[in-house]
Chain A
Amino acid sequence: MAKPSNKQEYVEPVSTGLLFQEAISVMSFKVRLALVILIVLVMFILHNSFWLWDLDSRLPLLFGFMPFAYSYYIGYTILAVLAMRLIIGLAWPDPPEDLFEQPEQKKQVETR
């Protein structure tokens, strides 16, 4: 993608892959939003995974100093980044370029 020539800082778009982009392009926004809700529910269940607490005392220490109760959330952090990446690909479009170029942009902040 070419860098925009205006003053706006160029921010590398979050890449989501061609196949993925093709797949989501055929989904309606409601379906994509439903998938986002599903991701949130999965993350919530993974956080409240009380059935795994038995492993706290049974699994060996990760890297020799991180017990399961701790290392689980290292893994959870990686999953959270992946989940956010997926959500961004599914349901976080950029606004159209002309969205803010309406008469309403005469901002009330400065005139209030």
Chain B
Amino acid sequence: MTNVLGIGLLLSYLFILIAIGVYGAKVSLKTREDYFLAGRGLGSIAVFMALFASNITAFTIIGHAGFSYETGYGAYGYVIGWSIFITPFTYYLVGYRSWLLGKKYGFATQPQVFGGIFNSKLISLLMLVLLLYYTLPYLVVSIIGGSLAFSTVTEGLVPYWVSAMILIGFSLIYTLPAGFRGTVWTDIFQGTLFLVVAAFLLSAVGRALGGFSEITSDIVQNNPAMLERSLAVELAPINWFSYSFVNSIAVVVFPQIYTRILAARSSSNLRQVSLYYPIALAVIFGISTLLGVWGSVAVPGLTGKETDNIVPLLIHQFLTPTWMVLGLVVVLAVVKSSIDSQLLSVAHLVTDDLLPRFKRINSQQAVFLGRILLVVFAAIAYFIALMRPAAILSIAGFAFSGFSVILPVMIGSLYWPRATSQGACAALVLPAIMLHLWYLGILPPWTTFGFMPVFPSFVLAVITLVVVSYFTPVPSPEQREKTFGLFERVFK
């Protein structure tokens, strides 16, 4: 850490973030749409990097490498395989129609879009509550994961509580003054940074271990189980199938992702993103998988949570201290690019969808309140991250599943004119309750028929939406015209 080049790199990184914050604040207009959506003016590269950087968390570099260390090459397909296709597909399936509605009616969040489709304040409120309920613990866990990673990479030199403060503080430096625009610009910078550095890191580790072919031969000889998916208990086909319903389809439901889609300038921008997104996901997770699997023969003997340290250990044992600093910058970039967008989206949801229920707020007031809420949520998240209460960690454990089971309502609302607000309400509430009953152990495990709870909950959401909608009055022609009349003009 005393390495001069390393410290120079860290300071340069911090300086760029501050410069982005200052310049972003200078060019931003003090309006609600500009602060929270960058005036809906994001081009292809900006949307691409904003979605990608917000999608990638500490899990990608730290957790996934650890999982690959334990389970082998199969971890690649298990964790990201289905996402490679379905995540960009959901940007079309849900994203494009939502973007059309947002652009036409000025909707800026999920509660506005789906409350607007059904003309229902209840749907809007339910969406808001569920999104906040799952996003806040997810945010806290991102901070905890990032701080632990930061602390590990610095070999304990920076304690956990300071790491958490640095991560949140660095995020606020540009998010507070420049809002959405600041997070997008830093996403472009940080997303490029961690893709490039991760690729160089893989190459450097590969060379240090004797070359790609050499290390793979070593794996074939000493740990052949790494090659075979059927030998990993965690990758059992029923888990593999269930996992298709966990993180891959949940991504478009995350408020920070959904908002970024609404902020695209044109349909063409979104198309370009969906087309090339699979490559970016495959590259970053491919690198992480190889580092984890190579680590299983280069640094054998790690078990349980220790496996999450495999990337820092590889850097520490086989590369120079400068690489350690670069690794630190990657961890910072990866973690912050998701924390800043989560913080902003939570502040956005409360400013735009909760506060106006009590008091009329004009555009300038919304920006002011949004900034205050950013600081408040950052402080709350920091203190919860320090305490690490079991309840929050438990909710975060199934937050991805919670997001996933919201998806049927989003798809149904955008594609099925017969869907009713009662059907949507029931399909939001019932699966969420069942998910809690299963994850908290109130219902016995056999009631999921061996699947992860997310799969039966997802099916339940679909069935509930269809059945309740058929038993409740058909939506009014005006209400249907507002959404489906618009779609009929586009999808001819």
Chain A interfacial positions (CB closer than 8 Å to B): 8-9, 11-14, 29, 40, 43-44, 47-48, 50, 53-54, 56-57, 61, 63-70, 72-74, 76-77, 79-81, 83-85, 87-88, 91-96, 99-100, 102, 104-105, 107-110, 112
Contact = CB atoms under 8 A, between A and B. Distances in A.
Contact of B92 (A8, A13, A87): A87
Interface of B: 31-33, 43-44, 72-74, 76-77, 80-82, 84-86, 88-89, 92, 96, 100, 103-108, 212-213, 215-216, 220, 224, 227-230, 237, 240-241, 244, 265-269, 271-272, 274-279, 282, 286, 289-290, 356, 360-361, 363, 486, 489-492
Contacts of A85: 275
A84 B227 contact: no
A11 B278 CA distance: 19
Per DSSP, chain B at the interface is: helix
Contacts of B76: 69-70, 73
Given A44-B244, A48-B244, A65-B212, A108 B491 contact: no
Contact of B276 (A69, A81, A100): A81
A109 B276 CA distance: 31
16 contacts: A9-B43, A9-B265, A40-B86, A50-B240, A56-B74, A56-B227, A64-B213, A66-B216, A74-B286, A76-B85, A77-B84, A80-B84, A83-B85, A83-B89, A95-B489, A99-B486
Per DSSP, chain A at the interface is: helix
Nearest to B212: A65
Contacts, number: 174
Given A77-B282, A110-B32, A64 B216 contact: yes
Given A43-B85, A48-B241, A14 B228 contact: no
Contacts of A79: 85
A67 B227 contact: yes
Nearest to A88: B271
A77 B269 contact: no
A85 B229 CA distance: 30
Given A44-B244, A81-B279, A84-B278, 9 more contacts: A9-B265, A40-B89, A50-B240, A63-B212, A73-B76, A77-B282, A81-B276, A87-B92, A107-B33
B116 to A, nearest CB: 9
A95 B100 contact: yes
Contacts of B107: 109
B237 A11 contact: no
A107 B363 CA distance: 12
Nearest to B88: A84
A81 B228 contact: no
Nearest to B80: A73
A95 B74 contact: no
Contacts of A105: 104, 106
- Most central of B100, B224, B282 by chain A CB within 10 Å: B282
Contacts of A80: 84-85, 88, 278
Given A61-B216, A92-B96, A96-B489, A109 B106 contact: yes
Given A47-B77, A64-B212, A77 B230 contact: no
Enumerate the 7 nearest inter-chain pairs by beta-carbon distance, A residue then B residue, closest first: A107-B106, A11-B268, A65-B212, A80-B85, A64-B213, A77-B282, A80-B278
A87 B84 CA distance: 15
Nearest to A87: B92
B392 to A, nearest CB: 32
Contacts of A67: 73, 216, 227
Given A9-B265, A53-B229, A80-B84, A65 B274 contact: no
A79 B282 CA distance: 12
B32 A109 contact: yes
Given A70-B73, A96-B490, A110-B31, A14 B275 contact: yes
Contacts of A44: 82, 86, 244
B485 to A, nearest CB: 11
A29 B279 CA distance: 28
B275 A76 contact: no
A108 B106 contact: yes
Contacts of A56: 73-74, 227-230
B85 A47 contact: yes
Contacts of B274: 84, 88
Nearest to A72: B77
B417 to A, nearest CB: 14
A48 B240 contact: yes
A99 B279 CA distance: 32
Contacts of A76: 77, 81, 84-85
Nearest to B363: A110
- Most central of B80, B229, B266 by chain A CB within 10 Å: B229
- Most central of B32, B43, B85, B229 by chain A CB within 10 Å: B85
